[in-house]
Amino acid sequence: MGPWAVSWMMLCLLCLPPWARAQTKIPLETVKSWADAFGGELYSIVTKYSGSLLLQKKYKDVEPTLKIKEVDGLELVKKFSEQMESMLRRKVEAVERLVEAAEDADLNHEYNSSLEFDYYNSLLINDKDENDNYVELGDEFILEPNEHFNNLLVNTTYSDIQLPTNVYNKDPAILNGVYMSEALNPVFVDNFERDPTLTWQYFGSSTGFFRLYPGIKWLPDENGVISFDCRNRGWYIQAATSPKDIVIIVDVSGSMKGLRMTIAKHTIVTILDTLGENDFVNIIAYNDYVHFIEPCFKGILVQADRDNREHFKQLVEELQAKGVGTVSKALTESFKILREFRDAGQGGLCNQAIMLITDGAVEDYEAVFEKYNWPDRKVRVFTYLIGREVTFAPNVKWIACNNKGYYTQISTLADVQENVMEYLHVLSRPMVINHDHDIIWTEAYMDSALPQSEELFASQAQSLLLMTTVAMPVFSKKNETRSHGILLGVVGSDVPLRELLKLAPRYKLGVHGYAFLNTNNGYILSHPDLRPLYKEGKKLKPKPNYNSVDLSEVEWEDQDEILRSAMINGETGYLSMDVKVPVDKGKRVLFLTNDYFFTDISGTPFSLGVVLSRGHGEYILLGNTSVEEGLHDLLQPDLSLANEWIYCITDIDPDHRKLSQLEAVIRFLTGEEPDLECDEELVQEVLFDAVVTAPMEAYWTTLALNMSLDTEAGIEMAFLGTRAGLMRSALYVGSEKISNKKFLTQKDKESIFTMDHFPLWYRRAAEHPPGSFIYSIVSEDESEGGGLPKVVTVSTAVSVSVDGKMGIAAAVGVQIKLDLLQRKFWMAMQQPNDTDCSGFDGACPLSCQDDILNCFLIDNNGFILVSKIPEETGKFFGAVDGSVMTQLLNMGMFRRVTMYDYQAMCKVPYHHHSGARPLLSPIYAFVAAVKWLISDFLIFLLEFNMSSFWHSDNLADAKAVFHHSHRHKKHDTLQPCDTEYPVFVYEPAIKETNGLIDCGDCQKMFVAQQIISSNLLLLVTDTVCDCSIFPPVPMDAKEVKFLNSPAHNASVKCERMRSQKLRRRPDSCHAFHPEENAQDCGGAAGISVCAALLLLPLVLLLR
């Protein structure tokens, strides 16, 4: 105890009035003796049953043969980058072969309007009719489970065809396209044989069909609808067009009321869904005057990332029609914004376009185009005439045709999708005419279109569920169509980010190290701290903004964005930062100095970062042993290897896919599988660790055989892990008696070696003094069955030293039942009955069981392991006793560390008319406008199918959304937010402290004493004095608010939203071509009206 603490305590005591000084006394020497006795017994138990001293000795014995090599982080990141570049280059080559095959097939194919052709329709394959015959387009299609494709049923010899529900599967354009693209089948198969790490390969046609390899059975949603349209996917849109700056102008005059406004809103949302993070956008609404639907974005364009697009959708939902429309002012404002951004070198610096959505244009607007856009026509204007009225069609079409745009008329919700897609074909013309096959890489995404399961979400590290796509456009090479610039479609292939990160082996990065990837826009592609999923009820779902999480929001200590800027600029370099790393779901924190090494991945818009923690994190241990000796010890039954690490490549050869990593290593070493490709350095480390740790098996077995169930009941398991991912464990009780059955299994990712991290018990032990143990209680919400915690995990690090360099070789520990710890605690917390009580004023002999005392065992983050009240176990001490926790904070024994979470989800009240819900089909938009009284009537009509010509798929869709809207009507929703939360950390330099707390009418004494060789504290407090005037010390996360003033909050939020973070633009741009046919500028909509939609005007009138 420091002199300042003693002086503080004496001052408190001197200031006390006589009545206060006479209250409960807690003798300091008694508490210290309790702590020493308990600590000594605890240390004896955990060292004995973990075998930590034996393991430390075994590693000490081999120190003379060990080498500790310092890792060159810059050399490492460059090597990883080169390997990743090589791997991604192979994916590009596969896509290039598909593009060449598709274009050649089209060149040799003549369109046949009467073509009849049967193909494998992925929805219909293997379906039979009532006569047990295969249905049309549904012939037999052999499907087998394949581990390489997440154990889905696939056909690796053939592709099949998926079409969205609204595309007729025997349309002549579809049949011709499918027939032509049959030429891709042998190329798909050949690509997969050349590069077995390839996953999905596909061709998305501009007509709407999607050819997927390997072929799968495509299942509709629960309502029989397939809403997936390849032309809406980010990879398709990015490959088909260059970056674009877009201003959407929407007419909100009185004539737009009702159905027209609903169609206009859906048109805006559909346009927004065609934009990506390389695009910029704003939305202007006009009637008698012009206003930006987000006032904060007045006069600028904002990046069309997922956050901003969803924000715009919510605002669009709130638009209301009134007044008289004056389009010239809105056009003027739009041209000004686009020109200012272009001149300032901001935005996409490529395509610029205005999207005009209106039901008519009557005033003189030609002067606006003469002033701002002619003769160069740098801004294309696309016009969407809303409604059936054709009076204004010539005017609206004239605007598009005289500004290199395209005109369409949208008279029903069913028209929206196809008509919006037309603008993409126009923007793709210059690239098509030039035959520029740009390679694009998408941001990270989770493809929910392919069959995904909750098990897949739960079984993998969240950041490794993501993928990126490499894609290239496919053009018509026919000379007669050259000036039309016909885009046939887009070819793509998925690259799971897990495959990329396999090239940055975990063992080379140390206990706390990791690799991460980010895009040219600064968004995270992969990072161990990226959390793309959230839990809604019992289901895991992707967060709305999961793929637009900025590097600065994960590496938030980089406050000046030095790291972010360097990586976006594709620089190679190094940076050091002191960081606070949250662990154990944010309840605890590690203080590290991290060295960041970074470089770009050539040929992609990505950058790679490698992080090594200063000290032991930058050393690799190299041991030497013979294969024979190591192999013998590898075969022991208690041994396992990190199955997510790549000791040997088992996912390429189908014969190897069934092998665990341990089985693969053994077959490699015995020569049974000479074709296996293994990481020899890592295998050598495993062999060395297997030999050094082998005596632990016999040690644990001997203990288990000689255990006394009376005195040692509650010791359940011993375990160890080495830096090579090797683990051993031994049970001291029958497996059926284990309290925490998830521990050291795939169900408890935090307790095992994964691609993302070392086990939590290993990481925490590595930052604790050698020889001292970390005790960790499973918190309330994590314990099995949601009940009270039952077990405590205890671990310590095993270090080695060579030539003054200290490395962490392993960690070892035990898992014990909490009631063992409690029994030992209460036995130690009492004075013997023969204690000399003479001269002692107060209760004697003293015991923690006395009513006048409360005794707690807490850990270094303030969580309770032992309390008189069992329900307090696992809780934060500050929530139980705010008075003592406040005093410990004031005295410096604990300190509060403020942490931030920029990936949090906060509750917001549910709004039924939410623009945040994507409008997946015209019917979905229709339903959003209907009141519940009408919904039952319409569902009645839908159920009984009163008109036989109604489209059954659309009706199923409609019914689903009626029920969906009712089901969620009253629930709060979660949305992305920023939060801050406290973590409390014990200051180990203060071994003991005590004090008196003024509680008004009385004073409360407390004594805190460190437990030796642990991260635990004994806390003894007086129960007589009621100190409830002190509020609890909360650990709750709070949404970040900038000031109490709502106006200021809005201002700061606006500044953050407006800010244009540094980004690197894509290298290529195709805005115009002198040969393009600008007179191909559109006509009337050609899609027939769905009869079900005829009810829509009636519904809207009744709103």
Indicate the pLDDT class of residue 34, thresholds 50, 70 and 90.
very high
Cα separation, 395 vs 383, in Å, equals 10
Give 582-631 pLDDT, tens digit per residue. Answer: 999 899 999 999 999 999 999 999 999 999 999 888 898 888 888 888 88
Nearest residue to 756 via CA among 443, 515, 474, 475: 515
Worst-scoring range by mean pLDDT, 102-106, 204-208, 515-519, 904-908? 904-908
Q: Check pLDDT > 90 for residue 148.
A: no
Tell me which amino acid residue 500 is.
L
Indicate the pLDDT class of residue 212, thresholds 50, 70 and 90.
very high
Cα separation, 515 vs 311, in Å, equals 32
Indicate the pLDDT class of residue 448, thresholds 50, 70 and 90.
low
Segment (H or E) for 990 = none
Give 1043-1092 pLDDT, tens digit per residue. Answer: 445 555 566 667 767 777 777 888 788 888 888 877 889 874 333 333 33
Torsions phi, psi of 684, nearest 5? -65, -40
Q: Check pLDDT > 70 for residue 128.
A: yes
Worst-scoring range by mean pLDDT, 44-48, 306-310, 707-711? 707-711
* Percent of the chain with pLDDT strictly greater than 70: 84
Whether 732 contacts 707, CB under 8 Å:
yes
Can you say how many angstroms the Cα of residue 589 is from the centroid of all Cα atoms in its chain?
A: 21
Q: What is the mean pLDDT of residues 149-174?
A: 91
Cα separation, 13 vs 152, in Å, equals 72
Worst-scoring range by mean pLDDT, 177-186, 668-677, 956-965? 956-965
Give 390-414 pLDDT, tens digit per residue. Answer: 888 999 999 999 999 999 999 999 8
Q: Check pLDDT > 50 for residue 15.
A: no
Cα separation, 714 vs 712, in Å, equals 6
> Rounded to whole angstroms, what are the CA distances from 661 to 145, 640, 679?
21, 9, 11
Radius of gyration of the chain from Cα atoms?
Answer: 34
| Joined tokens for residue 725 | 């991912």
Cα separation, 32 vs 1014, in Å, equals 15
Tell me which amino acid residue 32 is.
K
Q: What is the pLDDT of residue 462?
A: 54
| Joined tokens for residue 677 | 């490709």
Q: What is the pLDDT of residue 17?
A: 44
Q: What mean pLDDT is reported for the chain?
A: 84
Give 868-908 pLDDT, tens digit per residue. Answer: 999 999 999 999 999 999 999 999 999 999 999 999 999 87
Nearest residue to 641 via CA among 679, 593, 601: 679
Q: What is the mean pLDDT of residues 626-639?
A: 89
Q: Check pLDDT > 90 for residue 759.
A: yes
Half-sphere exposure of 907 (CA within 13 A, CB side): 6
Tell me how many helices (H) and strands (E) the chain has: 32, 39
Give 763-818 pLDDT, tens digit per residue. Answer: 999 999 888 999 999 764 454 455 688 899 999 999 999 988 899 999 999 999 99
Half-sphere exposure of 590 (CA within 13 A, CB side): 21
Q: What is the pLDDT of residue 580?
A: 95
Indicate the pLDDT class of residue 160, thresholds 50, 70 and 90.
very high
Indicate the pLDDT class of residue 1042, thresholds 50, 70 and 90.
low
Q: Check pLDDT > 70 for residue 840.
A: no
Residues 6+ away with beta carbon under 8 Å from 1060: 303, 346
Beta-bridged to residue 898, according to DSSP, are 982
Q: Check pLDDT > 50 for residue 449.
A: no
B/e letters for 371-381, b = 16+ CB within 10 Å, e = fewer, are ebbeeeebbbb
